[in-house]
Structure 1
Amino acid sequence: MLTVFLSVLLASTPLSIMHDGQMVDKLVKEDFELTGVDRLFMDDVKLDFQMDVLNKKVYQAPVSAKLDDNGDIISEKPGLALDKTTFRTMFRDYFYYGEPAELTLPTRNVYPRVDSELLADITEQTVGHYRTTFRQTNKKRTRNIELATKAIDNQVIFPNESFSFNETVGKRTKEKGYKRAPVIVKGELAEDIGGGICQVSSTLYNAVDINGISIVERYSHSRSVPYVPPGRDATVSWHGPDFVFKNTTSRPVLIRASAKNGNMAIEILSSESR
């Protein structure tokens, strides 16, 4: 035991952290000693922070299974993350015993919420659907509709989960490809980035207005719109109105959305046991 204590008090060899054959970090034991008390104790707060840093360097997000344009399932892909439990044990050996001087970063698989088996189960039947049309000649508005439609396509909403249009689509910016197109502001027509996506949110609203789906937040435009009947629209804006609904059933539901050849179509799918 005395030998161990003495080795702790001596300056340690830096610990090289390896991943995929390359060094991603180099740590020194002294940086993790608990200050103000006996140097034999390790500062777990500093170690937790360091593990977060390492995790960002190796993290790979999982990819959920989804349907392609033909309705065929594209399999999921697991992600990668730091195995913090194993790394903590390995680092303790280095901190207290001075070895190893090099370690390969332990990782673990991260699995997506939606795998092929679940997707096959929740595509058994259509529980809601709605279609609208738009003018393809308005290229900028069409582009905005296509981008927003792609963002909500293949989204799965689990039981008791809520879906937010703004959170899912994200901020509409030029960098994402959104164009300036007509919008309704206080009853007047104007132009803004992302104009036209209210047709996507309105089509979605009519598709999910079914048993088992609770509308949490919805606002109508200040004037009628041509693509849905009066009072059946759902206006959205990034720093303003949102469209939110909640899945109150016991099974997940899937959104399939497409915008092609002037047709905006949304299907809501789920399992037969729903």
Structure 2
Amino acid sequence: MLTVLLSFLLASVPLSVVDDGETVDKFVKEDFELTLVDQLLIDHTKLDIQMEVLNEKIYQEPVDAKLADDGDIIQEKPGVALDRVQFRKQFYDYFYNGQPTELSPPERVVYPRVDSELLSEIRTKTIGSYQTSFRPNNKERTRNIELAAEAIDSHVVFPGESFSFNGVVGKRTKEKGYKRAPVIVRGELTEGIGGGICQVSSTLYNAVDINGIEIVERYSHSRSVPYVPPGRDATVSWHGPDFVFKNKHNRPVLIRASAKNGNMTIQILSSKS
């Protein structure tokens, strides 16, 4: 637990942020003063910056509920963030009244987007699906497909919300485990980090090409690919094409994706109602 220590031993009135007994941040009251005629005011721009620094120290990202391989629901985990409203009130007391002399940053719960109750409701009906095949003996390409499938698995797209493949999967890097594998660039076959993930985006495109889903952005490769029929692919790259679709249903939809034993499978699920 981070502790904010307010010390009044010096005229400058230092404020220190201490984590496990070690000071990780320090500033003084005068840093936030604004004088207007004879009235002492707080520089709220600086206070907002300081609260952002404190929030970075205590923030814990919430974790959405998701489905395990066997279909069991893995429970969500709420996160933690700085309660800026309460901290601002306490800072006012410190700034104007010199009290309290010690406080802990007030926290608020950050709830995940998807909880277990929602997940159990929207996994009951299959509204779209598609499967493609790949060669599992190509270990580098297979690993890339597995990582991209894991990234989109259990992702929920709410009504009116758009899904961006690049936004959800993120940048494909060595640090994330992506390997060099064949990719198509300007009609030529070459190698690049993350080669093979276009099979995931193409399988997803065919799974969501259904009533109630609007394809917002899709591009085909500059040459045909073997895993889908001509014109049914969706190429993606981090600094280039993206695959984007929008949920036009009045209920959330759930993406289930798996890459096992040479099969890339995607199901689109929702509630029965």
Q: TM-score, normalised by structure 2?
A: 0.91
- The reply on whether 1:267 has 2:273 as its aligned counterpart is no
Task: Give the partner amino acid of 1:238.
Answer: W
Alignment of 1:49-64 (within 5 A): 49-64=49-64
Distance (whole Å) between structure 1 residues aligned to residue 18 and residue 220 of structure 2: 56
Residue 245 of structure 1 aligns with which residue? 245
Task: Give the partner amino acid of 2:176.
Answer: K
Residue 70 of structure 1 aligns with which residue? 70
Q: SS in structure 1 opposite 2:34?
A: coil
Task: Give the partner amino acid of 2:229.
Answer: P
- What does the per-residue CA deviation read over 1:111-150, in whole Å, with 9 as the maximum and x for residues that have no partner? 0111111111111111111011100111111111111111
Change (3 A) 1:105 1:22: farther
- 1:11/1:30 contact within 8 Å kept: no
Residue 45 of structure 2 aligns with which residue? 45
Residue 102 of structure 2 aligns with which residue? 102
Alignment of 1:5-16 (within 5 A): 11=11, 13-16=13-16
- The reply on whether 1:208 has 2:222 as its aligned counterpart is no
Computed over aligned residues only, the root mean square deviation of the Cα atoms, in angstroms, reads 1.8
- Stretch of structure 1 that moved more, 178-187 or 70-79: 178-187
1:229 Cα shift? 1.1
Task: Give the partner amino acid of 1:128.
Answer: G
Q: SS in structure 2 opposite 1:41?
A: strand
Distance (whole Å) between structure 1 residues aligned to residue 48 and residue 200 of structure 2: 43
Change (3 A) 1:211 1:139: same
- The reply on whether 1:33 has 2:29 as its aligned counterpart is no
Residue 217 of structure 1 aligns with which residue? 217
Q: SS in structure 1 opposite 2:236?
A: coil
Distance (whole Å) between structure 2 residues aligned to residue 272 and residue 174 of structure 1: 41
- 1:163/1:245 contact within 8 Å kept: yes
Distance (whole Å) between structure 2 residues aligned to residue 249 and residue 203 of structure 1: 21
Structure 1: gaps (5+ residues): 1-9
Q: SS in structure 1 opposite 2:132?
A: strand
- The reply on whether 1:194 has 2:201 as its aligned counterpart is no
Residue 115 of structure 1 aligns with which residue? 115
Alignment of 1:119-158 (within 5 A): 119-158=119-158
- 1:19/1:105 contact within 8 Å kept: no
Distance (whole Å) between structure 1 residues aligned to residue 250 and residue 264 of structure 2: 28
Change (3 A) 1:204 1:107: same
Task: Give the partner amino acid of 1:180.
Answer: R
Distance (whole Å) between structure 2 residues aligned to residue 35 and residue 157 of structure 1: 49
- 1:15/1:101 contact within 8 Å kept: no
- 1:18/1:103 contact within 8 Å kept: no
Q: SS in structure 1 opposite 2:192?
A: strand
Q: SS in structure 2 opposite 1:118?
A: helix
Residue 90 of structure 1 aligns with which residue? 90
Aligned length: 264
Change (3 A) 1:53 1:89: same
1:158 Cα shift? 0.6
1:26 Cα shift? 4.1
Distance (whole Å) between structure 1 residues aligned to residue 186 and residue 255 of structure 2: 31
Residue 177 of structure 1 aligns with which residue? 177
1:186 Cα shift? 2.1
Percentage of identical aligned residues:
75
Residue 6 of structure 2 aligns with which residue? none
Distance (whole Å) between structure 1 residues aligned to residue 245 and residue 152 of structure 2: 13
Q: SS in structure 2 opposite 1:266?
A: strand
Q: TM-score, normalised by structure 1?
A: 0.91
Structure 2: gaps (5+ residues): 1-9
Residue 160 of structure 1 aligns with which residue? 160
Q: SS in structure 1 opposite 2:143?
A: helix
Distance (whole Å) between structure 1 residues aligned to residue 37 and residue 205 of structure 2: 61
- What does the per-residue CA deviation read over 1:177-221, in whole Å, with 9 as the maximum and x for residues that have no partner? 111111122222211111111111110000001111000111111
- 1:127/1:270 contact within 8 Å kept: yes
